[in-house]
Structure 1
Amino acid sequence: MIVGVDGSESSLAAVETAAREAGLRKAALKVVHAFLWPAMHVPLGPSPLGPADGGMRNMVERLVAEAVERARAVAPEVEVSHAVVTGEPLTVLEAQSRAAELVVVGSRGMGGFVGLMVGSTAVHLAAHGRCPVLVVREEAGPDGPVVVGVDGSAAGDRAVEFAFEEAELRGTGLVALHAWTTWNAPLPAPQESSEPYANPPGVLGREEERLLAEALAGHRERHPDVAVEHKVVHGRTREALIEESRTAGLVVVGARGRGGFAGLLLGSVSQALLHHAHCPVAVVRGADASR
């Protein structure tokens, strides 16, 4: 497992979450800092006129040591290593994700602008990371169930499996939420009627309930101990998941789902959750995220 750190409170919150995740998974954790300044030929050592422990390199060593200490305090049983990699954060963490089970980052880093609710690193990794990406806010989320957005698409199937695994690891329930409107619901076969394009009241809703049950069936068999609540909502997916996140411990979404445009790496639902959810958000790419 990888956690990206930059010394900000947001990244330290990510370290604590990453340590707990590593403990649940019985996995090792690597704390990674992307050190941009050597590539820009900035002096790294202390100034001749300043303290001996000054300078960019000493500062980086201190912030990484603090992150490692924080991780070990949260999960003493986890093996924690660290790496300082020269390069730009987005490039460094994307490369690290190729061999990782999970990458954890804060929602905003030291370069975050006031009023910008989620940083470019989090959005970029959610779109381009080669493994699931967990984005953590500074505030602790509620100790609630795992919530997963289910749309029945093949692209979203990995997100559903990830959500079941998380619920099993955490020992919590799983809320499988499927939201639909008359604009995004696949039409059932027309019924015999004097109005050939009409369906009796309730038919679309029942079709959506069937879609949700079918999307969960195989996963329930693999994770029989996870208590699952089916929730079918007539409304917009973004608003429904954001509202559900108020009482969730984690929200899981696919990077793109049903209706996603080819070439669009991060869908509108996952973007909205990264900006407005009230708890950590995991974004899981589909089969195109092969390593």
Structure 2
Amino acid sequence: MTAGTRGIVVGTDGSPGAAEAVRWAAAVASQRKLDLVIAHGLEVVVRLYGRGVATREVFELAQQAAEGIVAEARRVALSVDSELEVSTETVPESAAAVLVGLSRTARMVVLGASGVGALGGVVVGSAVPTVVSQAHCPVAVVRERDGTVPAKGPVVVGVDGSPNSEQAVGLAFEEASFRGAPLVAVHAWSDVTYEYVHGTAQFLPPWDYIEPEQQRLLAQRLAGRQERHPDVEVRRRLVRSNPRDALLEESEQAQLVVVGSRGRGGFKGLLLGSTSQALVRRARCPVLVVRPEPA
């Protein structure tokens, strides 16, 4: 991917989970007419070879394994769209470093939730927390439901009114429009769990008093986006539970959950940043984490 391009980057380690991530990323790139970059890191064997621990034969074997991994990933991508522009990157760095570096010129970085890589490969799944917290573009973590990656259902977005959440809402509308799917906008009024409020619940305002104002604020946050995407059916959901539980519940029926990586915003009590890591570990569908970008 040349400097200045905005394509899709996907990490692979040769595992079944990584293959699903490649397939998902290829479909996104094909639909949006973008190029696809398949990346693989070789940090472990390169470091061992440099320290004299691994022999040259082991290093060459690792390189051959890496070439086979990216070649198979390329085949998987082209099976989705034979005309897709696909390039590969095999870099002597960790998977996290490779993906964070490539994220500087990417539209999106995609990786599987877990995986056991071949010889010399750094397991891509282990890179998820680092990439989600350091990437320069949105990061999609492809999670399965009952052994398959869901392709039907709504796009779900967590809304909290922060600048990062505003970016997540905008991207969620785009994803819903591309996919021809409805958008479920979830605002959880409080991120305070029962354990935290036990014994003090009597001091919380009545829900009947809170709900109308929160509904109004949620509608305001979505209004401008709805005007730009009139094709997207929007469903608003205001819940009393914390955002983690609400979005995990929505992931049971969704094809994608979109969330900001951090930010306590204009709606009282909601902290999406404490939720994004739980989603990439436990959601039942792919999760798109939107990194903060300059206004």
Q: TM-score per shorter chain, which class?
A: 0.7 to 0.9
Q: Deviations over 1:54-108 (max 9, x none)?
A: 8111111111100000010012231111111111111111001000000000001
Q: Deviations over 1:85-135 (max 9, x none)?
A: 111111111001000000000001326xxxxxx943111111111000000
For 1:86 and 1:210, the matched residues in 2 are separated by 52
Q: Which runs of 5+ in 1 are unaligned?
A: 48-53, 112-117, 185-196, 261-265
For 1:182 and 1:176, the matched residues in 2 are separated by 16
Change (3 A) 1:13 1:210: same
Change (3 A) 1:204 1:136: same
Q: Which residue of 1 aligns with 2:170?
A: 161
Change (3 A) 1:198 1:279: closer
- Choose which of 52, 62, 66 in structure 2 pairs with 1:60: 66
- Choose which of 205, 212, 217 in structure 1 pairs with 2:218: 212
Is 1:173 the counterpart of 2:178? The answer is no
Q: Which residue of 1 aligns with 2:247?
A: 241
Q: Which residue of 2 aligns with 1:25?
A: 32
For 1:175 and 1:198, the matched residues in 2 are separated by 27
For 2:239 and 2:223, the matched residues in 1 are separated by 19
For 1:267 and 1:55, the matched residues in 2 are separated by 41
- Choose which of 218, 223, 229 in structure 1 pairs with 2:229: 223
Contact in 1 for aligned 2:259/2:290 (Cα 8 Å): yes
Q: Which residue of 2 aligns with 1:147?
A: 156
For 2:247 and 2:191, the matched residues in 1 are separated by 18
Amino acid at match of 2:159: V
Contact in 2 for aligned 1:4/1:33 (Cα 8 Å): yes
Q: Which residue of 1 aligns with 2:261?
A: 255
Change (3 A) 1:81 1:254: same
- Choose which of 104, 110, 116 in structure 1 pairs with 2:110: 104
Change (3 A) 1:199 1:57: closer
Change (3 A) 1:272 1:198: closer
Task: Tell me the secondary structure at the aligned position of residue 102 of structure 1.
Answer: strand
**Deviation at 1:287?**
2.8
- Choose which of 51, 74, 81 in structure 1 pairs with 2:80: 74
Contact in 1 for aligned 2:251/2:283 (Cα 8 Å): yes
For 2:115 and 2:281, the matched residues in 1 are separated by 14
Q: Which residue of 1 aligns with 2:21?
A: 14
Contact in 1 for aligned 2:143/2:283 (Cα 8 Å): no
For 2:20 and 2:192, the matched residues in 1 are separated by 39
Amino acid at match of 2:109: V
TM-score, length of structure 2 as denominator length: 0.81
Q: Which runs of 5+ in 2 are unaligned?
A: 1-7, 118-123, 194-202, 267-271
Q: Deviations over 1:214-270 (max 9, x none)?
A: 11112112111111111111211111110111000000000012169xxxxx82110
Contact in 2 for aligned 1:245/1:277 (Cα 8 Å): yes
Change (3 A) 1:211 1:275: same
Change (3 A) 1:157 1:109: same
Contact in 1 for aligned 2:191/2:241 (Cα 8 Å): no
Amino acid at match of 2:101: A
Contact in 1 for aligned 2:13/2:69 (Cα 8 Å): yes
**Deviation at 1:43?**
3.7
For 1:240 and 1:4, the matched residues in 2 are separated by 29
Q: Which residue of 2 aligns with 1:86?
A: 92
**Which structure has the bigger radius of gyration?**
1
Task: Tell me the secondary structure at the aligned position of residue 81 of structure 1.
Answer: strand
Contact in 1 for aligned 2:156/2:250 (Cα 8 Å): yes
Change (3 A) 1:46 1:274: closer
**Deviation at 1:198?**
9.6
Contact in 2 for aligned 1:4/1:31 (Cα 8 Å): yes
Task: Tell me the secondary structure at the aligned position of residue 156 of structure 1.
Answer: helix
